[in-house]
Amino acid sequence: MSPNRPSTHPAQQGAPTQQGASPPQQRAPRGSARDKLIAAAHTTVRKQGYAATTVDQICAAAGVTKGAFFHHFASKEALAVAAAEAWTERARPMFEMPPHTRARDPLDRLIGHIDFRFAMLDGPVEEFTCFVGTMVQEAFATSEAIRAACEASIAAYCDALAPDIAAAMEVYGAPEGVTALGLARHIQAVLQGSFILAKTTNDPAIARESVTHLKRYVRMLFAPPGPA
Amino acid sequence: MSPNRPSTHPAQQGAPTQQGASPPQQRAPRGSARDKLIAAAHTTVRKQGYAATTVDQICAAAGVTKGAFFHHFASKEALAVAAAEAWTERARPMFEMPPHTRARDPLDRLIGHIDFRFAMLDGPVEEFTCFVGTMVQEAFATSEAIRAACEASIAAYCDALAPDIAAAMEVYGAPEGVTALGLARHIQAVLQGSFILAKTTNDPAIARESVTHLKRYVRMLFAPPGPA
DNA sequence: GACAACATACCAACTGGTCGGTATGTCGAT
DNA sequence: ATCGACATACCGACCAGTTGGTATGTTGTC
C-beta of residue B42 within 8 angstroms of C-beta of residue B88:
no
Spatial CA neighbour of A1 closest among A112, A117, A97: A117
Spatial CA neighbour of B125 closest among A146, A138, A116, A89: A138
Proximity of residue A5 CB to strand D below 7 A: no
How far apart, in whole angstroms, are the C-alpha atoms of residue A188 and residue A150? 13
Least CB-CB distance to A140: which of B202, B227, B228? B202
Backbone angles phi, psi at A115, to 5 degrees: -60, -40
Q: Among A151, A199, A208, which would you mutate to test the B interface (most chain B Cβ atoms within 10 Å of its Cβ)?
A: A199
How far apart, in whole angstroms, are the C-alpha atoms of residue A143 and residue B73? 30
Q: What is the mean pLDDT of residues A96-124?
A: 92
How far apart, in whole angstroms, are the C-alpha atoms of residue A205 and residue A50? 25
Chain A: residue whose CA lies nearest to B126: A141
Q: Which residues of B touch A192 (CB under 8 A)?
A: 192-193, 196-197
pLDDT of amino acid B78: 93
Chain A: residue whose CA lies nearest to B228: A226
CATH fold group of domain A91-221 = Tetracycline Repressor; domain 2 (1.10.357)
More confident residue, A98 or A171: A171
> What's the mean pLDDT when you consider all of chain A?
86
C-beta of residue B45 within 8 angstroms of C-beta of residue B135:
yes
- What confidence tens digit (pLDDT) does each residue in B54-82 have? 999 999 999 889 889 999 999 999 999 99
- What confidence tens digit (pLDDT) does each residue in A22-44 have? 333 345 666 688 999 999 999 99
Least CB-CB distance to B200: which of A154, A209, A213? A154
- What confidence tens digit (pLDDT) does each residue in B85-104 have? 999 999 998 888 788 888 89
* CA quadruple B134, B137, B142, B147: dihedral sign: positive
For A33-80, which CATH class? mainly alpha
pLDDT at B31 over 50: yes
**What is the per-residue DSSP string for B156-171?**
HHHHHHHHHHHHHHHH
Which residues make Cβ contacts (< 8 Å) with residue A209, sequence separation at least 6?
A: A194, B182, B185, B186
Count of other CB atoms within 10 angstroms of residue B75: 14
| Position A23, amino acid | P
How far apart, in whole angstroms, are the C-alpha atoms of residue A11 and residue A36? 9
C-beta of residue A125 within 8 angstroms of C-beta of residue A202:
yes
Least CB-CB distance to B196: which of A47, A192, A212? A192
Q: Are domains B33-80 and B91-221 of this chain identical in fold?
A: no
The nucleotides of chain D lying under 7 Å from a protein CB are: 5-10, 14-21, 24-25
CB atoms B199 and A51 under 8 Å: no
| Spans of all domains in chain B | 33-80, 91-221
Proximity of residue A53 CB to strand C below 7 A: yes
| Position A115, amino acid | D
Spatial CA neighbour of A211 closest among A192, A224, A225: A192
pLDDT of amino acid A28: 61
DSSP character at residue A9: -
CB atoms B213 and A182 under 8 Å: yes
pLDDT of amino acid A225: 61
Which residues make Cβ contacts (< 8 Å) with residue B168, sequence separation at least 6?
A: B106, B107, B110, B174, B222
C-beta of residue B226 within 8 angstroms of C-beta of residue B111:
no
Distance B54 CA to C8 C1' (A): 26
Proximity of residue A216 CB to strand D below 7 A: no
Q: Which residues of A touch B196 (CB under 8 A)?
A: 133, 136-137, 189, 192-193, 196
How far apart, in whole angstroms, are the C-alpha atoms of residue B206 and residue B197? 6
CB atoms B140 and A147 under 8 Å: no
